Homo-oligomer: A and B are copies of this chain.
Amino acid sequence: MMRSNGRSSHQLRPMNLTVNVNKYAEGSVFIEMGDTKVLCTATVDEKVPPFLKGQGKGWVTAEYSMLPRATQSRNQREAARGKLSGRTMEIQRLIGRALRSVVNLQALGERTITLDCDVIQADGGTRTTSITGSFVAMAIAINKIAQQHKLPVFPITDFLASVSVGVVGEEPLLDLNYEEDSKAKVDMNLVMTGSGAFVELQGTGEESPFTRQELDELLKLGEQGIRELIAKQKEALGPIALMIGSGQAGREA
């Protein structure tokens, strides 16, 4: 199959991470995966949700939204409709859960990190792109806390990135754009750590159930894509990258 821009089946779209794009947020990243563009900001709040109060632990949560004209045709704002769609809630629950899996909430202390993922333009893979970008924004914000508060240990335990894979026609593909995604018979989102373990695995064969062999091929494609994404995250984070999973006290220098 010929992919747009001559991509091969196991090739990611051109990816770009621009850090510190917001003058107020404790961490911020503008992530581009091809034509999918997401602004991720991390806000640090020196308190935790009611269910965690007094336990000495922190929390990481996320919100996700698409601008109305992020897509081919305009979508009504959820604020105007008066409620979040099921899709939005599903995605923001996923982002929060994924990020928490690599954060030592005890080490973070009684703080909440809120990741806002606002999709400026959408061309497939907005949820996976949001996770990959949010991880970087979160790392910048947590590093700021670490520099100010001498945390006992840097609270991020591993890298984390996410990518989609899918079967289009009979071919397994990495990092589907919107056109590919809408033709895919199997669609899978992977969230994995720097050490190669799975954090989330969500595969759907609504159009056509998939076999164990197809699953194995998709996992292999995804694992390779994740490795490449994490390499980009390291580059964007510079010296902060060294703190992740280091077990060092939470100070850069």
Contact = CB atoms under 8 A, between A and B. Distances in A.
Interface stretch (A17-25, A49-57, A124-132): A17-25
Nearest to A223: B212
Interface residues of A, number: 70
Contacts of A73: 24
Given A63-B68, A67-B116, A69-B43, A101 B206 contact: yes
Contact of A121 (B23, B116, B200): B23
Interface of A: 22-25, 28, 35, 39, 41, 43, 45, 63, 65, 67-74, 77-90, 92-93, 97-98, 100-102, 114, 116, 118, 120-121, 158, 188, 192-193, 195-212, 215, 219
Q: How many subunits of this chain does the assembly comprise?
A: 6
A205 B197 contact: yes
Which among A23, A196, A201 has the highest number of chain B CB atoms within 10 Å?
Answer: A201
A248 to B, nearest CB: 21
Contacts of A83: 79, 82-83
14 contacts: A23-B35, A24-B70, A43-B68, A63-B77, A65-B79, A68-B116, A83-B83, A98-B206, A101-B207, A102-B209, A188-B201, A200-B203, A201-B203, A202-B203
B86 A90 contact: yes
A44 B203 CA distance: 29
A161 to B, nearest CB: 12
